[in-house]
Amino acid sequence: MIMNLLNQYGVTERFLAQATMFPDYIPARVVAQYRGKYKIVTEQNEMLAEISGKLRYDTDELAMYPAVGDYVMIDAVGDTAVIHHVLTRKSLFVRKAVGMSGQAQPIAANVDIAFLCMSLNQNYSLNRMERYLSIAWDSGAKPVVVLTKSDLCDNLDSAVEQIDTISFYSDIITVSMYDEDLCEKFLPYFRENQTCAFIGSSGVGKSTIINELLGESVITTQEIGKGDKGRHTTTGREMFPCPLGGVVIDTPGMREMGAESADLSKTFADISELAQQCQFRNCTHTNEPGCAVLKAVENGELDMRRLESYRKLEQEASYDGLSSKEIEIKKSERMFKEVGGMKNVRRYARDHNKRK
């Protein structure tokens, strides 16, 4: 009996139903991505594939190109395949691509559980985790916080409590290099047809955890560099069937993930609730009278660090879909808002030149 590889790589009835809309093509799933090439699996084969000329011509945004985890429709001749369609996604993780203004690069698609990894050493940052959580909620995946290298933390209970206050009831897993029950900690999140992905900076131990879950060293790992900075061991994206059930996706280490698309309503539910009590509906929570958010900071009910993190992510999210020129205009508008807008700046400059 021939093993159905699509089942092994987590295919669900939802996508098989979508595939029937394209009877001229074969359903497949993208399981790895390289430079200009993809590795896909069909029911019976594993092969390399590339995008069709028509799909490339019709696609304006990088985010619409296939990503690891995508279900696609292909035709194949021998050991080669051509991708003609990307089926509707359940979820999508993106990051801003280097040198591509206003473009978002797809990282992983159709993820059910997103393990957001942060180590409890110099990598530890509440601002970073707030960013990860916002992006995870926006992606459509369920976030689970993974705090690695817990053996290096002087006060683990305090660190977990801090994360718990910002995580909107997300589960939190702590792991260390000495764990003998690591697989048991992750077992509740893996099941048949479930897709899990590990997201986080380089050097936090994502690949080490995945190797442990897979029961073999399929991903190269390295020691972190000087200054506690991780090295980019994983450069591509790849999916692996997991003995615990379902599949797991390893992603490249990312120092920062752009929050151009981010759901702040859950990660910052406390601020969103306070904002409903502000005097002005378009309150920016900077210097407006009657701002309930600033009042909460003044009364010690809200941490100023958290408000500043919210402001930063909110600004980045407002740039979603804008061109590089439009983003610069929007940044300028924000910059000069406190002095009464661009007209006042021009008036000041004109008066200043007259006095010279």
Instruction: Report which of residues 259 and 66 the model is more confident about.
Output: 66
99: left (phi over 0), alpha (psi -120 to 50) or beta: left
What pLDDT score does 321 carry?
A: 46
For 116, the token pair is: 């957001």
For 146-191, how does the pLDDT look when each residue is reduced to its tens digit (9 = 90+)?
999 999 898 999 999 999 988 878 999 999 988 989 999 999 999 9
Residue 33 has pLDDT above 50, yes or no: yes
Tally helices (H) and strands (E) across the chain: 13, 13
For 18-32, how does the pLDDT look when each residue is reduced to its tens digit (9 = 90+)?
999 999 999 999 999
Region 56-74 average pLDDT: 91
What pLDDT score does 213 carry?
A: 94
What pLDDT score does 118 carry?
A: 93
Distance separating alpha carbons of residues 315 and 326, to the nearest angstrom: 13
What pLDDT score does 339 carry?
A: 44
CB atoms within 10 A of CB 356: 4
Region 221-225 average pLDDT: 48
Across the strands, what pairs with 92? 109
Q: How confident is the model at residue 271 (pLDDT cuts 50, 70, 90)?
A: confident
Handedness of CA 157, 159, 160, 164 (dihedral sign): positive
| Residue entry with tokens 């200009």 | 36
What pLDDT score does 1 carry?
A: 35
